[in-house]
Amino acid sequence: MNLPSSHPLVDGRTTHSSLVRAYSGDRPDRLPVWFMRQAGRSLPEYRAARGTTAMLDACLTPSLASEITLQPVRRHGVDAAIFFSDIVVPLKLAGVDVEIKPGVGPVMGSPVRTSADVARLRDLGPLVALDPVSEGVALTVEALGQTPLIGFAGAPFTLAAYLVEGGPSRDHLAARTLMHSDPVTWAELTDWAADVTGAFLRAQVLAGASAAQLFDSWAGSLGLSDYTAHVAPASARALESVADLGVKKVHFGTGTSELLVAMRDVGADVIGVDYRLHLDEANRRLGGATPLQGNIDPALLAAPWPVLEAHVRDVVARGQSAPAHVVNLGHGVPPDTDPVVLTRVVELVHGL
């Protein structure tokens, strides 16, 4: 482990936490639970703290990013925090013209579709560019004590898809066209994205994150052969950025039920499963040897409590087939979720 002596995994603060133990394949006495997109969105204290600050500005203001990260831990009693940021933050720090438009998502100033476009992309440069991220993580870790922080980054395919499409897309046609029509340029682009997002992830771990999660939001648009040939090498490159640090690496994607083994084989220790596939089946596909994370259906957070409770109990029961299980959603917290419901889910999971 090439971590600083002050790191929570080195000085022992988070070493024996339920989350780290579960990610390591152990089953602690209390089942760990946290939620993707728990920081922000549904919390009134988040809206009050952020006010009119633009999303990317909030992500790069260390004290604000830290406060937002801590809010769900205080309110819900979850077993981990996940750093409040956005997958396009490293793109912005590398000089890409990107903004997050409310109700739309990340939008690029111009798409990246040719070899010349890729050649114009700048490296992230000196790690000082990531100082706002490192400072926000350090502030958060100091406040969390024995609760672990998860660092996160976007997977290269998702970042490349945003760059090629110029913004959100339903089917990623332009990205998939480039992948096949100009595989050399595609590989250059995904390698660049892997290095930028890998540096972003590494900065979070070095500053105190006790685990790392790679999100591939759009990989579900790919078949297995395309993923293996055109995406997996860059994802492995991104995860390799923290391999020497010894933290557990989680890989999650949406609509990726057919890709789980390939996603694990790029270097992940834990696989996040979305709501489309039962955990016992995911465990079967993975050979019964990989800790799982997931997979409460976010849609059921708005259902009557008896319906949601039965679903949570079913998720936990199916997760018992795996070597270890961290309870989470099968995607992110919807913005209109009642925070009281999330707290109630945490209490239910802890009581099972």
Residues 6+ apart with CB under 8 A from 307: 300
Q: At what angle do helices 173-181 and 183-206 cross, to 10 degrees?
A: 120
Check 13, 37, 202, 318 and give the catalytic one.
Answer: 37
Measured distance CA(130)–CA(107) in Å, rounded: 21
Check 13, 21, 23, 50 and give the catalytic one.
Answer: 50
3-state secondary structure of 213: strand
Written as one letter, the residue type at 153 is: A
User: Is 237 marked active-site?
Assistant: no
Instruction: Write the DSSP assignment of 3-58 as a string of letters.
Output: --TTSHHHHSTTTTSHHHHHHTT---SS--B--TT-SSSS-HHHHHHHTT--HHHH
- Could you list the mean pLDDT of each consecutive 10-residue stretch along the chain, which spans 352 residues? 94 98 97 95 93 94 98 98 96 94 90 96 82 97 98 97 92 94 98 97 97 96 97 98 97 97 98 98 98 98 98 98 98 96 98 94
What does the domain layout of the chain look like in residue ranges? 8-351
User: Is 227 marked active-site?
Assistant: no
Check 27, 41, 276, 285 and give the catalytic one.
Answer: 41
Which residues pair with residue 64 across a beta bridge? Answer: none
DSSP state of 122: P
Check 23, 162, 227, 275 and give the catalytic one.
Answer: 162
Q: Show the DSSP H helices in the chain as ranges.
A: 8-11, 18-23, 44-50, 55-59, 62-76, 89-93, 115-120, 131-144, 156-165, 173-181, 183-206, 224-230, 232-240, 260-265, 279-285, 305-319, 339-351
User: Is 226 marked active-site?
Assistant: no
Question: How confident is the model at residue 127, as a pLDDT?
Answer: 67
Measured distance CA(94)–CA(91) in Å, rounded: 5
Check 79, 86, 269, 297 and give the catalytic one.
Answer: 86
User: Is 162 marked active-site?
Assistant: yes
Q: At what angle do helices 131-144 and 183-206 cross, to 10 degrees?
A: 40
Cα–Cα distances in angstroms (integers) from residue 338 to residues 18, 204, 297, 301, 326, in the given order: 26, 30, 15, 8, 22
Q: Specify the CATH number of the domain 8-351.
A: 3.20.20.210
User: Is 86 marked active-site?
Assistant: yes
Residues 6+ apart with CB under 8 A from 339: 42, 43, 44, 75, 76
